[in-house]
Structure formats: C-alpha cells, structure tokens
A and B are shown apart, each in its own frame.
Chain A
Amino acid sequence: MNLVTVSGPPSSGKTAVILKTIDSYKRQNINVGVIKFDCLHTDDDFLYERAGITVRKGLSGGLCPDHYFVSNIEEAFAWGQKEGFDILISESAGLCNRCSPYIKDVKAICVIDNLSGINTPKKIGPMLKSADIVVITKGDIVSQAEREVFASRVSTVNPRATVIHVNGLTGQGSFELSTLLYDRDLDTESLKGKELRFSMPAALCSYCLGEKRIGEQYQMGNVRKINLEEN
C-alpha cells in the first residue's frame, strides 16, 4: 500500500483536491481510502462517503492535533492494509503553521491557496518547507500576476518541492497530481521504525493539563514569557 500525507491550513481546499484526485484513480480501478484527522468537528467524511470513498475520521478534541495524528497513524495504516487499499490518503489541517505530520519516506503534500496572501509561505514552517509536493489552489479567482508571485514565493521557501496548481472546483490539475501521488511499484509494509520529518511543537505546561486560571502562580512546566521591552 502507498501512504500519502496531505496537510495544509484550514479551508485551503485539501478535501476538494483529494476528492478530484481520487476521481482519476477510480477510472483506473485503483482502490483508495481516506483517513481524516481534525480537531473539533468535521463533515468532510460525508463528502468522501457521498463520493463512494471508504473513510474514517479522528477528532483530536482537546489534544494537539498533530500529536494525535502521530499517535494514531500506525493504526490507521494497519486499517488501510486490512481494507486492501492501493493507496491510503491521510488528511490533516496544520492549525498552528508550525506543525507538520510528514513522515520520512512517505510522500508529503502541502495544500495552500492563493488567497492566503503572498507573505504566507514564509510564515508556514515545516508543513510547507519539508513537503515533497506543494499544491496551490484557488488560482481561478486571483490574477495571473498574483499566481506567479505566490508560486515563486513558494518555490523560494521550498525549492525542492514540485509545485502544481489544482482547481478544486473544475478538477483542472488533479489528474496531473494523481500521477505524482501513486507509485505502483511502491509497497510500504509498515510504519514501524519510521520517523517524523520534523519534531512536533513542544507543549507541556499547566494549561495543557486543564488549568484555566490566569496568573504566574498557576503557570508550570514549559512556560515562556513575551519580551515587551524592545522590538
């Protein structure tokens, strides 16, 4: 089975891109499953089901979504194998721009949209910088010039990635993307022993454990103070 991790800021078009890409696989009789990771709520599983795609969802709730991802991806992978998929696509939102659920030797896709602004590429951390493929969406509603500037910024931040434009509405570009995701000759047997490409953001303070009160005496663990003295 191939595993592909798709990640990107909320509302960048991940689900639309994946749905259109899977359309191409269906025509080639390639069996695809989706595992959707989200934080509090998602209806995307219905969208997948409506398209006839086998899907499972996991909500991290009060936990950091990417920590939740990495603690569950092995089980999700085993589920995909049991279902007999040729390719399992994991979808997760990079909520703080610092996270990235990418695993070494597992194809990593970052989806970002033209509307997010030209300074966005540099604000996004490993989620963009260490992706193998960057998919840029919503190109049909901004000018050609903005598309070119945005794509060139993305390439500057991550020169090694393949940058591809996909229109989540018409599907333009999704067939092309599909040829880059699936490798017939690749069969990942297990995730055991594999490593994340980049460490998850650290978070271990009293607030992680449910503290609600404001004030220095309640702050314990990994706490850092803002510097207001200078800029």
Chain B
Amino acid sequence: MSRSVEELTIGEILEKYPFASAYMEQHNLEVEGKEHLSLGEYLASFSEEEIEDRALDGPAVMLGLREYIARMLSFLGADEQKVRSLTILPGTNKSGEPEGFEEFTIRTGEIIAIVGPTGSGKSRLLGDIEWVAQRDTPTNRQILINGEKPDQKWRFSTSDKLVAQLSQNMNFVMDLTVEEFLHLHAESRMVENRKEVVGKIIACANDLAGEKFDLTTPITSLSGGQSRALMISDTAILSRSPIILIDEIENAGIDRKKALSFLLSQEKIVLMATHDPMLALLGHKRIVIRNGGIDKIIDTSEEERTMLGEIEKVDRKVQNLRASLRRGEILTKDSF
C-alpha cells in the first residue's frame, strides 16, 4: 500500500508524480528548497498574514492536490476508449413532433454535413452529442457510442471531450510563436515526444496552407488560411476528441479537401455545418435540420456526386486565379 499524498514530502510527491509541479505552479507555491517538507508542513509555515495575502486555503490546496493527482493518473493510464461509431436515436422537434428518421449511425472516417437555417437547432444537436443525451435534454434524443449507452465521463471530463470544434470566427488570441503554442498545447495533453509531434503538426499545416509559415511566426500574425490550417492539423493530431465539428471552412488559403481527408485519416468522425456545395457534397450524407429537429437525412446521390466533380473544377479555377493575384500577375480570359 503506497503512502498517501499527505504523508509524502514535496520532493517525494514531485518525484512520484512529476506533473504535480504544474499544480504547485498554478497555485503560486514556491516549493523549491522545500522538498524535504510535507505539503502540510510547508503550508503550515506561512504566517497568518501571508495566508490572508495569498488568499491561501490550506485544506483546499491539500484536497485539490489529491484530486488533481487522481485525475491525471486516470487520464494517463486510461486506455483511450476508441469511438468507432455514434448513433442518434430520434426525439422530437420544437413542436413536439417526432423527428424524421429511425436511427442514425455515423462511423469513424465518415463526413456528415448538417444543413438548415440559423437557429434551426444545429447547436442543440451538437449539444446533445457533446452531453451524450439520454432522453434528458429538450429534444429527448438519445446518443449511443459504439452502439451502447455511453460512459457519463464524457459529460464532465475536461481532458476527454467528445467533440472538438472548428468554427469560422475562431482566432488565435495568445501572444506566442507557433512553436511555443504547439508545445504548450502538447504539454497540456501530457504528450511525451513533443518535438516530434510539433514537427508533424507544422509539416501537415504547411501542406494544407496556401502560403507556408514557420515555427517562429507569432500565431496572431498568421493569415486566415494559415490559422485554419494550423487549427485543423493541431486538432487532428493533438486533440483526443473523436468527433470534430466544422462550422464552415472559408475557401481561402487552405486546401479544404485535403484538410478533410487528413482528418478522416486520423480516424475522426467529421460533422460539418455548411451550405457550401463542394463541402456538403463531399459528405456521405447530410442531416437536414428544421424547427429544432432532424427533418430528414439525405444520402448524397449519384447525380450529386457527378456534380461534385464539376464543382471541384470551378473551385480549382477560382483557387488558381487567387494564386495568380497573389503572385502579382494579370488575369486573362485564358487563365480561367
């Protein structure tokens, strides 16, 4: 039986649980040189005044550390629960009428488009998936993972979220270079071979972006296309979330088709809220949302698939014109 955190010295805690240093740091506890003390002894060494000034709550710091270690151990030790499929069982729309499908299963490697006017219930659908609804949300839907009633951990875990989101208005806000940023993210995900992972993310982002960038670029000065490329490649590689929701990808400075196939190669389920014909038809199926419920689910038809080829051609043409403009060229009718 191992000794409890209360009995260990700070030095022993840090040796046994190296990640605990992040806890000490975030609580502004300067433990250097105090390794021989137990955390209780260290906390008791503060004067009344220091406790008041630091707003230090000793017992809470103690309990918090125990909880933190337990969480981190379960995060590190947990076999990543592979999500292979997601099943939606129908509920009702805003008027209480049953939704227009029987049972809908999405498997990893599939792209599903979500269409419908603003306010029709896309957020609620996503909310139901994220909350793994069990007929306990306003839509009365039920969500199954791998065909079974899922673990409740998906609801509250901060490290294992079911859905990662990439949306149109997202921006980087941190004052960091690409490299610092990726290391920070990798660190928070407890990744061990950080250098390698960071290299992989940047290589992949550059493959997706129209204009290349490097590790020393500040993330806030990336162009829209570069930002999106970095977000996609970072989410695909570092995020543990098995489902990715994309809320429109702007058609600028990024190879969207490549981006999608990259996400799929990482065994993700891709949900895409979009009215862009090229993206929507890349989906295997599309969910039509109306009045707060799923109205119907449409399989992408043969005809639509043929049209996709045409649309892609137009898309490529526009992309080429864009690239010419960037190079400072004059556009001619022939170039279209």
Whether a CB of chain B sits under 8 angstroms from the CB of A158 is yes
- Per-residue CB contact flags for chain B residues 175-194 toward chain A (1 = under 8 Å, else 0) read 00000010011001100000
Say whether A144 contacts B239, CB under 8 Å: yes
- Per-residue CB contact flags for chain B residues 135-160 toward chain A (1 = under 8 Å, else 0) read 01110000000000000000110110
- Per-residue CB contact flags for chain A residues 138-149 toward chain B (1 = under 8 Å, else 0) read 011111111111
CA A152 to CA B240, docked complex, whole Å: 13
Say whether B181 contacts A145, CB under 8 Å: yes
Please choose the segment from B76-84, B161-169, B261-269 that sits at the chain A interface, where 4 or more of its residues have CB less than 8 A away.
B161-169
Say whether B55 contacts A126, CB under 8 Å: yes
Please choose the segment from A63-71, A168-176, A186-194 that sits at the chain B interface, where 4 or more of its residues have CB less than 8 A away.
A168-176
Please choose the segment from A3-11, A30-38, A113-121 that sits at the chain B interface, where 4 or more of its residues have CB less than 8 A away.
A113-121
Whether a CB of chain A sits under 8 angstroms from the CB of B172 is yes
Mark out the residues of chain A between 134 and 166 whose CB falls within 8 Å of any chain B CB in the assembled complex.
Answer: 139-149, 151-160, 162-164
Q: Which of A121, A129, A147 contacts B57, CB < 8 Å?
A: A129
Please choose the segment from B60-68, B101-109, B327-335 that sits at the chain A interface, where 4 or more of its residues have CB less than 8 A away.
B60-68
Interface range on chain B (Cβ under 8 Å from partner): 35 or more
CA A24 to CA B52, docked complex, whole Å: 40
Say whether B71 contacts A159, CB under 8 Å: yes
Cβ contacts under 8 Å, B99 to chain A: none
CB distance from B280 to the nearest CB of A (A): 21
Say whether B169 contacts A140, CB under 8 Å: yes
Whether a CB of chain B sits under 8 angstroms from the CB of A122 is yes
Closest to B201 in A: A145
Mark out the residues of chain A between 83 and 133 whose CB falls within 8 Å of any chain B CB in the assembled complex.
Answer: 98, 114-115, 117-118, 121-122, 125-126, 129-130
Cβ contacts under 8 Å, A152 to chain B: 158-159, 188
Cβ contacts under 8 Å, A179 to chain B: 136
Cβ contacts under 8 Å, A125 to chain B: 55
Q: A27-B138, A176-B155, A199-B52 are in contact. Are A142 and B173 (CB under 8 A)?
A: yes
Say whether A142 contacts B123, CB under 8 Å: no
Count of inter-chain pairs, beta carbons less than 8 A: 124
Say whether A140 contacts B170, CB under 8 Å: yes
Cβ contacts under 8 Å, B306 to chain A: none
CA A117 to CA B227, docked complex, whole Å: 18
Closest to A98 in B: B55
Say whether A142 contacts B172, CB under 8 Å: yes
**Interface-centre pick from B26, B123, B131, B235 (highest chain A CB count, 10 A):** B26
Say whether B63 contacts A160, CB under 8 Å: yes
Say whether A144 contacts B63, CB under 8 Å: no
Cβ contacts under 8 Å, B26 to chain A: 121-122, 153, 156-157
Whether a CB of chain A sits under 8 angstroms from the CB of B27 is yes
Cβ contacts under 8 Å, A170 to chain B: 123
Q: A151-B158, A163-B158 are in contact. Are A143 and B170 (CB under 8 A)?
A: yes
CA A5 to CA B52, docked complex, whole Å: 23
Cβ contacts under 8 Å, A162 to chain B: 156
Say whether A142 contacts B171, CB under 8 Å: yes
**Interface-centre pick from B60, B71, B188 (highest chain A CB count, 10 A):** B188
Cβ contacts under 8 Å, B130 to chain A: 173
A143-B227, A156-B23 are known; give 20 further A-B pairs, CB within 8 A: A122-B25, A122-B27, A125-B55, A130-B57, A140-B167, A144-B165, A144-B166, A144-B170, A145-B185, A145-B234, A151-B158, A155-B158, A155-B159, A157-B26, A159-B71, A160-B64, A172-B126, A175-B137, A179-B136, A198-B55
**Contacts from A to B (Cβ < 8 Å):** 24, 27, 98, 114-115, 117-118, 121-122, 125-126, 129-130, 139-149, 151-160, 162-164, 167, 170-173, 175-176, 179, 198-199, 201-202
Question: Can you pick out 27 interface pairs between chain A and chain B where the beta carbons lie within 8 Å of each other?
Answer: A115-B173, A122-B27, A129-B57, A140-B169, A140-B170, A141-B173, A142-B171, A142-B172, A142-B173, A144-B164, A145-B181, A148-B239, A152-B188, A155-B68, A155-B71, A155-B158, A155-B159, A162-B156, A163-B158, A170-B123, A172-B124, A172-B126, A173-B127, A176-B131, A176-B137, A198-B55, A202-B52
Q: Which 10 A-B pairs have the closest CB atoms?
A: A125-B55, A159-B68, A159-B67, A152-B188, A145-B185, A170-B123, A172-B123, A156-B26, A151-B158, A122-B26
